[in-house]
A and B are shown apart, each in its own frame.
Chain A
Amino acid sequence: MSVRELSYGDAISEATVQAMELDSEVFVMGLGVDDYKGIFGTTLAAHQKFGNARVIGTPACENAMTGIAIGAALNGKRPLLVHARNDFMFLALDQLINNASKWKYAYAGKSAVPFVTRGIIGRGWGQGPTHSQSIQSVLAHFPGIYVAMPSSPYIAKGILMEGLRSSVPVILLEHRSLYSMKEPVPVKPYMYPFGQGLIVHPGKDMTVVATSAMVKEAVKAAHILKKEGIGLEVIDPVSIQPLDEKIILTSVKKTGYLICADTSWASCGFASEVSALVAEKGFRHLKGPIKRVTLPACPAPVSRELEEAFYPDYRDIVSSIEELIGRDLKIDLEKYREVDAFKGPY
């Protein structure tokens, strides 16, 4: 299969174009999808190729736009909604939760409303309280919708294409900090399924379940700890709902330890969900307490100094492991730090 390097953003763009080529019912809708920035470049190619008829810029109307997608989906269309920030999706929760997630069930399976919503999680350069939340847990709480967080270009392309032929309303949360990440991506269309996790880094000693931007932090921690003779198994669940329970439980059975690293808060969050899963179904394999690496319990601050303290990274994963083994590994963690080069566009 022909493969070349593609960035996360370009992979999303390519998936959009290919899905539109394969299915003439697919159309893109959202605030700014048709402007010169094209949602960090992800809708530019589609707009160029299919024009305003199938790449529809909208007014500021998140809730209506979602209801409009539902009505269109009911009539055989395949809307792909895009929000430059997933925080704006809070305005659309009524339609997403009260209509979309209930549709098939409440109408006894006689009709369905499959469509895809993309939302981008912001981070850095002081995006602050309302432009850098990460809303997967809110959404995955409700049965009837799929929620996934692609952590790489390969997954991003595959899961968007899968979402656009799914029979379920789908939400994809992309992370702004991943947009420049590059890796080999097949040229041809392909699907990455929902409910299938991925072992990103194999290891035998401890399991780290990490989401979205936390996957690369977990892999970094794995590389650091390898030198100390500790093998981290990093699992990316990819989809939050449905959840690949098996891949997590199998790993914990092998390692006896679980660390959950999520991009959001602990309280009622995805890290807590994974912890509950393992406590319920894998308790006898556990050799120590479960650890959650999540955001401190406050909104995202703006100040550079506070942002520094706010976002957990590989250092927090390593510290949680030191706590589990009851020993300070005396690693110079600072030397692995990369400068945060992000300066926008936001």
Chain B
Amino acid sequence: MPIDREFKKKLFAMMLKIRLAEEKVVEVYAKEQQMRTPTHLSIGQEAVATGVCLALRDDDQVFASHRCHAAYFAKGGDINAFFSELCGRENGSNAGRGGSAHLSAPEKNIHSSPILGGMVPVAVGAALAFQLNGTDQVAVGLAGDATYEEGVFAESLNFAVWKKLPVLFICENNLYSTNTHLRDRQPRSTICERVSMPELKAVSFDGNDVEVVYLKTVAAIKKIRQGRGPQFIEFLTYRYREHVGPNYDYDKGYRTKQEVDEWQEKCPVENYARKLVRAGVLKKEDVQELNKKYSAYADQAYQKALRSPWPLKEGLLENVC
């Protein structure tokens, strides 16, 4: 299935929007100290959430992990609510109660949570509800390579495959769990080899090519909507910045600058811009315009967040029960 020009622009625009929003976070996080929430940036990994979420319908549901900014945007989360949440304001996506790692827009069908594996069975439960309700919605669990180490994944997978539930597991494999490489915590076999079973063939693709991510997700979703049960896709990608926080960390010894540089060569956003320009989908000036536009969005949203009201202390006990 070819992707039409307009949709390609959409894929690119979303990745760029995410990149520039997060670059804004990088710019101000340490310097201005207004975002008092431990922040896991998706910079370098934008293609995965973008390709996956843009392959979904609005009523499909996404359950993301701590590294949730990209998925939040790609599922339609608002940029003002994003910056306000990071700045702890009442008009934040979670009214300053959840922070960077709980970014959510329930009306857009996305929730996030930072306890590893915590959202995997929740996605399966949403899929159970879809099945019971007889809808053709799909639930998506979106998490990192370490999340699928948790025992709850094995339990969830067993149930989901047994029940043939409409759930898509996406593994954003960025090679690392905090500062630990895959080889220092998993056997040499691949994640897909270990997840696969006769009823489910887990597959792995380039997660830095947004078109690949999109098309592979479309294919998986199609199977799921046909009632063929859970699918599992691993997308290979890489985070540029430290595990949590805005800085580079190649001086810390657990990975080399060379490795980071090599992955930056494979930048999902820049490479796609070049590709679209080469293909005549976008002109160089278009790319520049889009850059300006989304960096202005981010600036404005951040400034607006800083002018937004704090939550009232009287509201502390709201929404507990």
B-binding residues in A (CB < 8 A): 31-32, 34-37, 57-64, 87-88, 90-91, 125-131, 296-299, 301-310, 343-346
Contacts and interface: CB of A to CB of B under 8 A. Distances in A.
Contacts, number: 130
Contact of B186 (A59, A296, A301, A346): A59
B38 A31 contact: no
B194 to A, nearest CB: 12
A130 B147 contact: no
Given A299-B320, A302-B102, 9 more contacts: A32-B180, A34-B184, A35-B179, A60-B149, A91-B117, A126-B88, A296-B316, A298-B320, A303-B88
B141 interface: no
Contacts of A345: 245
Given A32-B179, A298-B317, A303 B38 contact: no
Given A35-B178, A91-B150, A303-B310, A59 B38 contact: no
B320 A303 contact: no
Contact of A310 (B117, B185, B316): B316
Contacts of A344: 38, 244-245
A127 to B, nearest CB: 6
Nearest to A343: B33
Contacts of B178: 31-32, 35, 37
Interface string B211-244: 0000000000000000000000000000000001
Given A57-B185, A125-B37, A126-B37, A35 B317 contact: no
A129 B95 CA distance: 13
B316 A36 contact: no
A302 B185 contact: no
A35 B115 contact: no
Given A36-B253, A87-B115, A298-B320, A308 B313 contact: yes
Interface in B262-321: 310-311, 313, 315-317, 320
Contacts of A303: 88-89, 92, 96-97, 310-311
Contacts of B177: 31, 59-60
A301 B146 CA distance: 26
Contact of B185 (A58, A63, A305): A58
Given A301-B316, A302-B96, A59 B185 contact: yes
Contacts of B98: 128-129, 302
Contacts of A126: 36-38, 88, 99-100
Contacts of A304: 36, 88, 310
A181 B320 CA distance: 34
Contacts of A310: 316
A307 B96 CA distance: 10
B103 to A, nearest CB: 11
A343 B244 CA distance: 12
Interface in B98-133: 98-102, 113-117
Question: Interface size class for chain B?
Answer: 35 or more
A60 B38 contact: no
A34 B180 CA distance: 9
B153 to A, nearest CB: 10
A305 B36 CA distance: 11
B252 interface: yes
A63 B117 CA distance: 12
A63 B151 contact: yes
Contacts of A57: 180, 184-185
A301 B96 contact: yes
A257 B185 CA distance: 53
A306 B102 contact: no
B180 A305 contact: no
B316 A306 contact: yes
Contacts of A129: 97-98, 102
A302 B151 CA distance: 28
Nearest to B148: A60
A125 B33 CA distance: 10
B34 to A, nearest CB: 9
Contact of A130 (B88, B100, B113): B113
B316 A131 contact: no
A296 B151 CA distance: 33
Given A302-B97, A303-B97, A309 B313 contact: yes
Contact of B37 (A61, A63, A302, A308): A302
Contacts of B33: 343
Contacts of B37: 125-126, 128, 302
A138 to B, nearest CB: 15
B91 to A, nearest CB: 11
B254 interface: yes
Nearest to B89: A303
Nearest to B90: A303
Contacts of B92: 303
Nearest to B152: A91
Contacts of B151: 61, 63-64, 91
Q: Which of A34, A59, A308 is most buried by chain B, counting CB atoms within 10 A of its CB?
A: A59
